[in-house]
């Protein structure tokens, strides 16, 4: 792991950040890049509010968790071995990275519609804040021969809407994953739940 320094931060400040250089399909080579940066009081000087700081923490969690699922996919060489929660996390991780990098339109340009269909189906009951947002998109792209072109026919600022709900959605996703892990820990290796 290479230690990189931010040009505007004091040299002693570092935080861990992970970026996927090219989100990929199962079986393709990974392009994961991890860099170390540390912050101590730097965020205080930037004037970030609690919601922004929470967003940064949730983003770090999403990147780390998504990378973990990605590594599992590469080990398994398939999506079939993923739990419902892992698949939701992975699909949302890809969606969020594409949106943060170039907007929701970029997601529909770079990803096959099967990814959207999977994310839409998996998120409906697990992520209430995302469901209302995704319905606006789904009504336009569902069944369209070119989902990217259909996406651009939406008359609302989808990226602006996503920015407004991103932190609540990440909170819901983190809670859903934590509950899934807690429930999985209650199950014995034989498949029976603890009493």
Q: What is the pLDDT of residues 59-109, one digit of tens each?
A: 999 999 999 999 999 999 989 999 999 999 999 999 999 999 999 999 999
- Give the pLDDT band (50/70/90) at residue 17: very low
> What confidence score (pLDDT) does residue 36 get?
38
Minimum mean pLDDT range among 36-40, 49-53, 96-100, 111-115: 36-40
pLDDT number for residue 83: 94
The residue ranges of every structural domain in the chain are 48-186
Residue 172, CA distances (Å) to 4, 34, 129, 130, 177 in order? 32, 25, 8, 9, 9
The whole-model pTM stands at: 0.72
Tokens, residue 159: 């990226």
């Amino acid at each position: 792991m290479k230690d990189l320094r931010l040009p505007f931060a004091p040299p002693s400040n570092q935080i861990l950040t992970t970026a996927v250089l090219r989100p990929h399909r199962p079986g393709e080579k990974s392009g994961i890049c991890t860099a170390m940066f540390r912050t101590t009081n730097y965020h205080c000087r930037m004037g970030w509010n609690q919601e922004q700081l929470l967003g940064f923490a949730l983003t770090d969690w999403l990147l780390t968790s998504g990378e973990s699922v990605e590594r599992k996919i590469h080990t398994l060489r398939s999506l079939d071995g993923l739990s419902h929660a892992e698949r939701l996390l992975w699909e949302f991780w890809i969606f969020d990275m594409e949106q943060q990098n170039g907007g929701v339109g970029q997601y529909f340009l770079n990803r096959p519609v099967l990814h959207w269909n999977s994310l839409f189906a998996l998120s409906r009951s697990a992520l209430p804040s995302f469901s209302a947002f995704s319905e606006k998109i789904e009504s336009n792209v569902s069944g369209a021969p070119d989902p990217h072109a259909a996406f651009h026919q939406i008359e609302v600022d989808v990226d602006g809407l996503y920015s407004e709900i991103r932190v609540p959605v990440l909170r819901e996703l983190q809670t859903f994953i934590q509950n899934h892990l807690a429930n999985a820990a209650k199950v014995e290796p034989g498949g029976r739940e603890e009493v």
